[in-house]
Structure 1
């Protein structure tokens, strides 16, 4: 059974006002003093208003969800020590002036990318799934491409930007797409071709290194995994676990197709970009672009098509019933974007939206 690991980026906010706070260094320092020795779980990100954690690889999705809940709670505990809170929000609902970190890498990004880097206060969720080789990994990347927008729609959790409704379910996706290497990619066909393209991108001088190859899905530089990077950080940890479960199912399904000689779908990058835009715009509230036909279809029909596509893998991994329940719950209550807009409609206050999302982060 393939192992799965999750990286989540969390927003650091003032517990009273809901405004983002540039306190990542203080929170990391608090974690480093913790006698439980969990400081290596947490890392800084581009902006000092962010904190990232990474789970261990897990094969049981219940254990994965439990660990996500644990590290969210630990992040909240460390943040509380410096008079802050954590929120699983993919963008700040309130106005913010992001503060880029002072390390060499982040300052390089600031210098070379200007406003794109300065405004890039977005929180994503990255899912790593183990693969046996780069050849298998690239075969998986080639075959999961059209299904990634559905995952974005399910995870969408960033409707607000600088105190305004963006009109999108995932505005994080639109802001993240400003990086020149971000988004969907072509069919590579082989690991050699993948590595050749990555090398050419770095050699262009536009990117600092391979870490800046921000494909929606890529081979990990550090682990024997494929890394799917398309999702917003999810408000509810059960949604994160569902996304990770479906991604493992996608990887299993794609690897089986590769072994059976089933070729990848040849949808062009232009169509995939449109599908990603549609998913970011609509979330689960309207139509999406169907991964097979590339034509409009109701969001629930597209999500269920994804579920049916990976059903055999879910069953083999023992994930079918749990994923069915989690999906039913998501479709009933909505993604984070729907929850945030409902909270604003009910309270009339973005501060109250943030306060409730702080509570739901630790649900």
Structure 2
């Protein structure tokens, strides 16, 4: 049976007329709770200009797609009640002064990390894939490492920051990398070494708890899953489903390699950081570092390599045709970063960019 997969998406709250980010999460969450009659999928986030939802674990990607569309629509309806819109952008194109959410944990973060927290108004997409045990989970985390920059490139949706073009496809990934515990990690080799590393990080006192261990891929501290955390939130909901499809296939492929006795790639953390930087800079508009060689190749060639790497897993879950079609479409129309830049080129207005992206958020 196929592994379950769940998606967490963070969305920006923006003024319905100006498109500027608005600190309305408390009001929108209350409206969402009332609309859901006590069964809401929404949660507050670090900043009051955003909110998050999480899908149920799914095995059928069509059901996952329907749920993502449902919660995006519910978010939009609740936001409308507060005079706002929601938009699936990984950074705010317009200038913003982010406001930290309420609660003791957020206050602690603000005091501990200062400007790093203030500037973390970023929206990501986290994909959870089920694993049977910590042994399997750590084996998967070890073997995912070279492929995660490709996942980032596919999701690139944050070219603008504080009213300026950053020259990156995913500037969110650069902002997120300011956290001292974020990014790629070494090969662990066993659950014992993984958990020892997490304990050592928390014991430094720099982190509040293990929930702040922001590895690019980690064992979830809440669910029996591997959680892949590298992606921007995707503008097109179909791209979120594509990401979930490919991440599940990567997890399944990694597990099969582990069971077959194939060792993980020993590529170092320094090279992985460069691969992630290249993916964040280029998105799909320039070269990526090929996971097998860590040499630059055109993005379409690297995506073909990704499909070849996970083909057996995609065939096993019945997702091969959908994945091939999804990659073809994203290469043709581009990621959210291209959509935003094209909209700015047409209109000359970042306000118009946000307005267009609001409509695209719901597909």
Normalising by structure 1, what TM-score?
0.99
Question: Alignment partner of 2:51: what SS?
Answer: strand
Give the deviation of 1:35 after TM superposition: 5.0
Question: Could you tell me which residue of structure 2 aligns to residue 221 of structure 1?
Answer: 221
Question: Alignment partner of 1:310: what SS?
Answer: helix
For residues 24 and 337 of structure 2, what CA distance do their matches in structure 1 show? 25
| Aligned positions of 1:268-307 closer than 5 A | 268-307=268-307
For residues 246 and 63 of structure 2, what CA distance do their matches in structure 1 show? 16
Give the deviation of 1:38 after TM superposition: 3.2
Unaligned runs of 5+ in 1: none
Question: Could you tell me which residue of structure 2 aligns to residue 121 of structure 1?
Answer: 121
Question: Could you tell me which residue of structure 2 aligns to residue 314 of structure 1?
Answer: 314
Answer yes or no: is the 8 Å Cα contact 1:183–1:214 preserved in 2: yes
For residues 231 and 33 of structure 2, what CA distance do their matches in structure 1 show? 29
Give the deviation of 1:31 after TM superposition: 1.5
Give the deviation of 1:62 after TM superposition: 0.9
For residues 38 and 350 of structure 1, what CA distance do their matches in structure 2 show? 36
Answer yes or no: is the 8 Å Cα contact 1:31–1:38 preserved in 2: no
Question: Could you tell me which residue of structure 1 aligns to residue 104 of structure 2?
Answer: 104
Give the deviation of 1:36 after TM superposition: 4.2
For residues 182 and 211 of structure 2, what CA distance do their matches in structure 1 show? 12
| Aligned positions of 1:156-195 closer than 5 A | 156-195=156-195
Answer yes or no: is the 8 Å Cα contact 1:249–1:314 preserved in 2: yes
Deviates more, 1:183-192 or 1:322-331: 322-331
Give the deviation of 1:34 after TM superposition: 1.9
Instruction: Indicate how the Cα distance of structure 1 residues 35 and 286 shifts in structure 2: closer, same or farther if over 3 A, else same.
Output: closer
Question: Alignment partner of 1:107: what SS?
Answer: helix
Question: Alignment partner of 2:70: what SS?
Answer: helix
| Aligned positions of 1:4-153 closer than 5 A | 4-39=5-40, 41-153=41-153
CA shift digits 1:68-126 (9 cap, x unpaired): 01000000000000000000000000000000012000000000000000111000000
Answer yes or no: is the 8 Å Cα contact 1:157–1:233 preserved in 2: yes
Runs of 4+ displaced beyond 3 Å: 35-38
CA shift digits 1:327-360 (9 cap, x unpaired): 1111100000011000000110000000000000
Question: Could you tell me which residue of structure 1 aligns to residue 339 of structure 2?
Answer: 339
Question: Alignment partner of 1:337: what SS?
Answer: helix
Question: Alignment partner of 1:43: what SS?
Answer: strand
Give the deviation of 1:304 after TM superposition: 1.3
RMSD between aligned alpha carbons? 0.6
Unaligned runs of 5+ in 2: none
For residues 344 and 36 of structure 1, what CA distance do their matches in structure 2 show? 40
For residues 327 and 295 of structure 1, what CA distance do their matches in structure 2 show? 21
Instruction: Indicate how the Cα distance of structure 1 residues 102 and 35 shifts in structure 2: closer, same or farther if over 3 A, else same.
Output: closer
For residues 79 and 68 of structure 2, what CA distance do their matches in structure 1 show? 16
